Structure 1
């Protein structure tokens, strides 16, 4: 329970950049979580090599990309998706922005659910299994270890890893909040017209908020994929976005 709670904390910290700092109501944030999870699943599971012969020829031993490489890739891809969502919605505010982002989140989930034909990319509702477990310098997080005479099982090991990541993301968020960029986001949230009049490039600042928030969602998604070893579209429903938004609103 605590492991999943920490994943949601990472998601909430990312959404807080978009909703809390920049004041952009995003109801499709779970889509970036899905993008990060599927990028890790593609790169760290036998799915692509089993479906595409040319990939199997290039990687005869199968794709076994370590999660520490897939996480930055997933964060970058999620940031690109954040920009793709942000670019058409720059003129929208409030409820209208919420409706468009809600639609974006549903589109991503439906794509993941239906991209199993005519070419099987995501394996549809069956999901992708066999995702590589997390390991660090040969230290396998999915095995029991004895550390300083104490037995540590995989659930505990993941807990401490996720705590470390959540603290790092929180520190980045605090630094962002007090940076020039963070103050620009807060200015846009308080009064976009006044911020523009003061010389802030509101277009770039909004896109940056979407991209930065999405990248944290991608990190959490990659960790979720490696932790669970399986991803399917069922994990990325609209209600998940509502849960994360509730965490941001109720948690302040």
Structure 2
């Protein structure tokens, strides 16, 4: 009842504030005033409904938080936790999902396949940035620079030296990793906002160099006629080439997911997570901060380089306008929205942020408004992301008990 009263007060307040703008319209030609009372009614009803829904969702959020603090888990949370931890439930679900992705190009148009290629490309970028931001806790705002390094590596080597896609793919990843190390050395002592500003400047430096060094990168005109990936020397049509690139990027995403998952649970992955939680405590435990940070920058940049090579092969044309700060912001939003540190969450976040605006083209006038409102609601009601990263528990054997068992003589032996 208290929430209902507050929602009514909010609607009355909005009607009062918007009265001159929504209700009164002056016709200067005829010298008349039009009173649009229906607009005021719509404003009142809309603000009441939004306020009531907002308060209802906040109440549910608080109830869920209290239940989680008491050790209770919702049915949906228990189902997802079982899906994530129980192989008997996870393997069939992953098999069905993989089968759906495998048959997708044969049941949808080439246009829809192209959209999915872009989405999977951003999944790969998001997982690479997840290494740096989600696992090691280093806020990077110039991640698109490594993406550009990979793309231009393939474009320049293919145009000037005739190297093919498969030859340049490891070179693009290695070049991006090298640039990641070059960025990592100067920022070893920086953290937080200072690190973000420096990496943002690095991304802009790379873009401006590509835009102004015309003899090297063709400047704003870009590089065209880049070869698509070959398939045993066969000439592929546009439709067949699109399908081939789709399966190529799908395989790359699967490899990326497996690699990032293994890295997360490895020794270096645990060092990254310790660095994210507390850098001073991490160093006090004997972890080499320099090596840990540089490894995170290099591996995260490496995946961006791979994605850049595939992007250049897909579009057959690149220019510096494809590598602006907006791209870095979008990839970072995918990591935050999906859940920092969560491999599944970042993948889902990338698919949502790329596919949602595309399929809201029917609401072209309002789709960015819907997109922005969705982001705001997610950050208010689900700040940990769509899929929060589960905490891995390690069982350490009791050294004292093990020593006691070892010291105890075997039955029937000589004392």
TM-score, normalized by length of structure 1?
Answer: 0.87
Task: Return the alpha-carbon distance in structure 2 between the equivalents of residues 169 and 131 of structure 1.
Answer: 25
Tell whether the 8 Å contact from 2:228 to 2:241 is kept in structure 1 after alignment: no
Task: Return the alpha-carbon distance in structure 2 between the equivalents of residues 155 and 66 of structure 1.
Answer: 17
State the partner residue of 1:37. Answer: 151
State the partner residue of 1:25. Answer: 139
Tell whether the 8 Å contact from 1:19 to 1:26 is kept in structure 2 after alignment: yes
Task: Return the alpha-carbon distance in structure 2 between the equivalents of residues 100 and 94 of structure 1.
Answer: 10
State the partner residue of 1:123. Answer: 218
Q: Is 2:328 the partner of 1:241?
A: yes
Q: Which of the numbers 213, 231, 242 marks the counterpart of 2:318?
A: 231
Secondary structure at the counterpart of residue 163 of structure 2: coil
Tell whether the 8 Å contact from 1:78 to 1:214 is kept in structure 2 after alignment: yes
State the partner residue of 2:70. Answer: none
Task: Return the alpha-carbon distance in structure 1 between the equivalents of residues 283 and 272 of structure 2.
Answer: 11
User: How far did 1:196 drift?
Assistant: 0.4
Task: Return the alpha-carbon distance in structure 1 between the equivalents of residues 188 and 315 of structure 2.
Answer: 36
Q: Is 2:164 the partner of 1:66?
A: yes
User: How far did 1:2 drift?
Assistant: 0.8
1:195/1:139 Cα in 2 relative to 1: closer, same or farther (>3 Å)? farther
Task: Return the alpha-carbon distance in structure 2 between the equivalents of residues 15 and 44 of structure 1.
Answer: 27
Q: Which of the numbers 224, 242, 252 marks the counterpart of 1:155?
A: 242
User: How far did 1:137 drift?
Assistant: 2.7
State the partner residue of 2:233. Answer: 138
Deviations 1:119-139 (A, max 9, x none): x11000000111111013324
User: How far did 1:44 drift?
Assistant: 1.1
State the partner residue of 1:102. Answer: 200
Task: Return the alpha-carbon distance in structure 2 between the equivalents of residues 206 and 216 of structure 1.
Answer: 16
Tell whether the 8 Å contact from 1:64 to 1:132 is kept in structure 2 after alignment: no
Structure with higher RCO (Cα < 8 A, 6+ apart): 1
State the partner residue of 1:180. Answer: 267
State the partner residue of 1:55. Answer: none
Task: Return the alpha-carbon distance in structure 2 between the equivalents of residues 163 and 8 of structure 1.
Answer: 12
Tell whether the 8 Å contact from 2:136 to 2:273 is kept in structure 1 after alignment: yes
Task: Return the alpha-carbon distance in structure 2 between the equivalents of residues 110 and 221 of structure 1.
Answer: 17
User: Number of residue pairs matched?
Assistant: 225
Q: Which runs of 5+ in 2 are unaligned?
A: 1-114, 340-415
Q: Which runs of 5+ in 1 are unaligned?
A: 49-62, 145-151
Secondary structure at the counterpart of residue 154 of structure 2: helix
Secondary structure at the counterpart of residue 203 of structure 2: helix
Moved more, 154-163 or 200-209: 154-163
Over 3 Å off, 4+ runs: none
User: How far did 1:65 drift?
Assistant: 1.0
**Alpha carbon RMSD of aligned pairs, Å?**
1.1
Q: Is 2:294 the partner of 1:202?
A: no
Q: Which of the numbers 307, 310, 316 marks the counterpart of 1:220?
A: 307
State the partner residue of 1:149. Answer: none
